[in-house]
A and B are shown apart, each in its own frame.
Chain A
């Protein structure tokens, strides 16, 4: 680190501008320091916070073209996370993922990505017109969730598609598992393929040796982190990092400005500055988080028949490493699905978990947790198991992997005319919407892909198993999906 990380330039200027600057505002927002809000809202939200909701100005800089305090704050973030550039985002990592794709791919350029990518990546394909080449992640059969990509698979895919412009890596998956990001990055770079890392769930990786490797530590070209998820900033605030080389800074800048608001919220941006300051000056918070998480994992494993996997799952490849703060709990021996357990924990114990799937539930331990809060979770789990254990195993229906046949880019499929047809009529037609199946959160088809007979059979099977299917509508008890009208 070269810069003085004890500074919080954006935050300080923000406070000074609002609380000490004597100017009277004749610019937007029209609520003028919150004065037009009704009293109940002013009291609830605190008048000071409402006053802090301001627009850009010469003093406060502008996110579309930062030259002042926002620039300084972004430089401090880049310095801490060891990247060439940092860009604050106010529309979540969704915008970061989309910017990464748009910055590296022109229409019809190839991009390699894991099949378990977030939907923002598919939307990024629609925006960019890029052609996806998918790599199937491993699906861990006991937990029923998708993991990382195998290095061998990545190499093979790159060998076959040396003209690809970019490869996207999910680091980590929603459940905290990573791939061998170092070797993947090195291999891609040998071919001049840009490495884009979706580090939405790994905001802290770059800051601790005890956590999995960050894309930034292996010199990926672009990395998006959701500071708002585990980094401690306000919801919706994320950071996009860029390392120069394969992608130019001017391209990144113009791509970001394509869809970014010209009125970015200072509450969000200041919170990024403060969260960065906090992480830089209190690295022990991350150590504490890891010990606390290890404690939770140990305790959960004492509650029969729950199982909270850790190191023993690692295989040096598709499950290369894992984020300790993601508490994945296998609940399949209780006779309930993870969906049901999450609902019951909420209804009966007032504990809100991150997500549930057929076999597992996920609790996220965060920087704000302590022994007291995690004890609530642990006692809820202990009591839940006593009260609800049906002592039998829930069935997990495994999904077969279909190698997708891409006939149109997602963009072409998205903009072509579409119509609903019954599932059976969709055979040999081109999907126009994404069809997702949970578990394991992998699309059966994305826009532009051929719907095969085998896929439709699988689909019927999954419907019977009562899996969650998104992108499929039941009409008069018959499943319908959307296909491209073209070529019928």
Chain B
């Protein structure tokens, strides 16, 4: 029996491999290469251009941390914009808040959404059933550019890595627009890559620098994502006025009684405490 192994290059000489039981789907969309696999340990997972995006086993950490951190700082979020997030996991978490009225999801590659609905209902099931979710299959950069001022309370940049279709999402123009379309107590969360391997570290610094220049409050928080390079991953929290720690409202959030597997009110605070080498890397490049 031949070994069927998916391997991802985390650094030039460090590799991450998964032995899969079946390769469910392969296609070249107009934007990228999409592969779905099945593994005994991780369940269904999919990759874009050979990079792990989502798997059934650890998707909860990412989706908890991108959603519940801002939602527990501003309990009055009504309109949410998700850029990317084709697997539907982020929209799923946001849709658990009854007070949210509108969830716009802008994903450039319709195929990712369609395939996720087919193969990964764990993350994508809400995309078709929750009436508050509106799907737009277009370029996120153009979408935010055309949106009116002060429209969203929360923008979540749930993007792929900054190579390929994700690239525009890491540009200054894009963040300018995000700032503009946010309400006064709006929050922007963006994927901040990882501090560990060199390539990801550069992107982390780049992303943070742009946001820091724009938003009065720009903090970075970490979480543990075992199947992303190094397992140590970051999000950026940026806002015009709300501080993720000072304005954190754990009591209100607890009352919602959401059953979460990763996020809790203690993790919220702890996530903003960064290892010294990460702090230094961010600070030296401000």
**Interface of A with B (CB < 8 Å)?**
417-422, 425, 475-476, 478, 480, 485, 488
Contact = CB atoms under 8 A, between A and B. Distances in A.
Contacts of A476: 74, 76, 185, 242, 247
A488 B249 contact: no
A421 B247 CA distance: 16
B98 A488 contact: yes
Interface in B217-260: 242, 247, 249, 252, 255-257
Given A476-B242, A476-B247, A488-B98, A419 B255 contact: yes
B99 interface: yes
Contacts of B257: 417, 419, 485
Contacts of A421: 99
14 contacts: A419-B252, A419-B257, A420-B255, A422-B99, A425-B99, A475-B75, A475-B76, A475-B252, A476-B242, A476-B247, A478-B76, A480-B252, A485-B257, A488-B98
Given A417-B255, A419-B255, 7 more contacts: A417-B257, A419-B252, A422-B99, A475-B75, A475-B76, A476-B74, A488-B98
Contacts of A417: 255, 257
Nearest to A473: B252
Contacts of B252: 419-420, 475, 480
Interface of B: 74-76, 98-99, 185, 242, 247, 249, 252, 255-257
A473 to B, nearest CB: 9
A349 to B, nearest CB: 41
* Residue among B74, B75, B98, B257 with the highest chain A CB neighbour number at 10 A: B75
Contacts of A480: 75, 252
A478 B99 CA distance: 14
Contacts of B247: 476
B22 to A, nearest CB: 41
Contacts of B75: 420, 422, 475, 480
A478 B78 CA distance: 13
Given A476-B185, A488-B98, A419 B76 contact: no
Contacts of B256: 419
Nearest to A420: B252
A428 to B, nearest CB: 12
* Residue among B99, B185, B247, B249 with the highest chain A CB neighbour number at 10 A: B99
Nearest to A417: B257
B98 to A, nearest CB: 5
A418 B255 contact: yes
Ranked nearest first, the 7 interchain pairs of A and B with the lowest CB-CB distance are A419-B255, A488-B98, A425-B99, A420-B252, A422-B76, A478-B76, A419-B256
A230 to B, nearest CB: 41
* Residue among B76, B242, B249 with the highest chain A CB neighbour number at 10 A: B76
Nearest to A429: B98
Contacts of A420: 75, 252, 255
B98 A475 contact: no
A366 B268 CA distance: 56
A422 B247 CA distance: 16
Nearest to B254: A419
A422 B249 CA distance: 14
Contacts of A478: 76
B96 to A, nearest CB: 12
A315 to B, nearest CB: 46
A423 to B, nearest CB: 10
Contacts of A422: 75-76, 99
Contacts of B249: 475
A425 B76 CA distance: 9
B217 to A, nearest CB: 14
A475 B75 CA distance: 9
A78 B255 CA distance: 49
Nearest to B101: A425
A482 to B, nearest CB: 8
Contacts of A425: 99
A262 to B, nearest CB: 35
Contacts of A485: 255, 257
A360 B122 CA distance: 62
B177 to A, nearest CB: 24
Nearest to B74: A476
A485 B252 CA distance: 13
A475 B247 CA distance: 9
A418 B257 CA distance: 10
A420 B97 CA distance: 12
A421 B252 CA distance: 9
Contacts of A419: 252, 255-257
B244 to A, nearest CB: 14
A2 B76 CA distance: 67
A418 B254 CA distance: 11
A488 B99 CA distance: 9
* Residue among B74, B98, B185 with the highest chain A CB neighbour number at 10 A: B98
A488 to B, nearest CB: 5
A307 B106 CA distance: 66
Nearest to B252: A420
A420 B252 CA distance: 6
B27 to A, nearest CB: 41
A459 B15 CA distance: 61
A430 to B, nearest CB: 14
A476 B249 CA distance: 11
Contacts of B185: 476
A419 B96 CA distance: 14
B52 to A, nearest CB: 36
A480 B252 CA distance: 10
Contacts of B74: 476
A405 B76 CA distance: 26
A120 B145 CA distance: 57
Nearest to B256: A419
Nearest to A485: B257
Contacts of B98: 488
A121 B194 CA distance: 59
A475 B99 CA distance: 15
A56 B247 CA distance: 52
A421 B75 CA distance: 8
Nearest to B251: A420
A33 B256 CA distance: 52
Nearest to B98: A488
Contacts of A488: 98
